[in-house]
Amino acid sequence: MDDVLIPGRLSVPSLSALAAFEAAARHGSFTRAAEELSLTQGAVSRQVAQLEGALGVSLFERVKKRVSLTAAGAAYAAEVREGLSRLAAATVSAMAFRGAAGVLNLAILPTFGTRWLIPRLPRFTEAHPGITINFATKLVPFDFSREPLDAAVHFGDPVWPGARLHRLMGEEIVPVASPALVARFGIAEPADMLKAPLLQQSTRPRAWANWLEQQGLPPQRALVGPRFEQFAMVSQAAVAGLGLAIVPRFLVEEELRSGALVIPIDRSLIGQEGYYLVYPEEKANLPAVTAFRDWLLAECAPVG
């Protein structure tokens, strides 16, 4: 059998040993791990035992025919699982370079992606047919060093350690509701809005408070109401008449044009935060990153 540790400057376990350990840890069973990997139960058991010997720690507790992770095993399993996932993603990305100019793994905010970015994306693919963009959803900032991602669209302040940021746009926040809800609660002035349920967006907890304070209204009810993770869910809840929503105007232009939503009180809130393209310093010169950056900044440039 091959050595468990690969010789070299650092002692790194072989992929076969790590795969056997990760599968056994995930299933809590050497037998089920063997079935997944098309190995014998004995082969998995030996791989894990040799890995434990090489590391000098017990990864599993063995009681009769049952196995369970030790504290060290549980911690190691989480790191190994993440490492194998990143290696798999890197392999897929490398394979995608065949006949292509590059791959961009991009994290996006879901509603921004579906409502603003993706409808414009054909212009990018037409200009750069050899670049493939893979999308992932991220609602909050993350550590690029621990994610198989090249860039992200981020909303907030221009703060992201170890990364470059390019401001794309600000946003105008407006209150919206279905016409039926406006009629039901008789909303004609800002104070009337406090009669209706206020729909909440999880990543913008102060949105209602900021808007109410701007109108000189008490913010006590600003956090009271059904809560949703994404603007798409909030806007659809407003269309359904579940309450008033406060959203970026550009994300509900379609509903406003169709009449599914209206702005009952046309008083907008312009915040200091904005949308940014973010990428780590070490990927600043990747062709796919620079091509996407230049195109996106041009798309966001003011007209005229």
User: Are the C-beta atoms of residues 222 and 198 closer than 8 Å to each other?
Assistant: yes
CA distances from residue 120 to 234, 248, 294, 301 in whole angstroms, order as listed: 23, 18, 14, 14
- Which stretch of DSSP H or E encloses residue 152? strand 151-156
DSSP 288: H
Sequence letter at residue 190: P
How does pLDDT run along the chain (304 residues), one tens digit per residue?
Answer: 455 655 554 567 888 999 999 999 999 999 999 999 999 999 999 999 999 988 889 999 988 778 899 999 999 999 999 888 878 777 766 665 544 558 899 999 999 999 999 999 999 999 999 999 999 999 888 899 888 899 999 999 999 999 999 999 999 999 999 999 999 999 999 999 999 999 999 888 899 999 999 999 998 888 889 999 889 999 999 999 999 999 999 999 999 999 999 999 999 999 889 999 999 999 999 999 999 999 999 999 886 5
235-271 residues labelled b (16+ CB within 10 A) or e (exposed): bbbbbeebbbbbbbeebbeebeeeebbbebbeebbeb
Residues 6 or more apart whose Cβ sits within 8 Å of residue 73: 25, 57, 58, 59, 60
The pTM score is: 0.66
Q: Is 208 exposed, middle or buried (CB count within 10 Å of its CB: 0-12, 13-18, 19+)?
A: buried
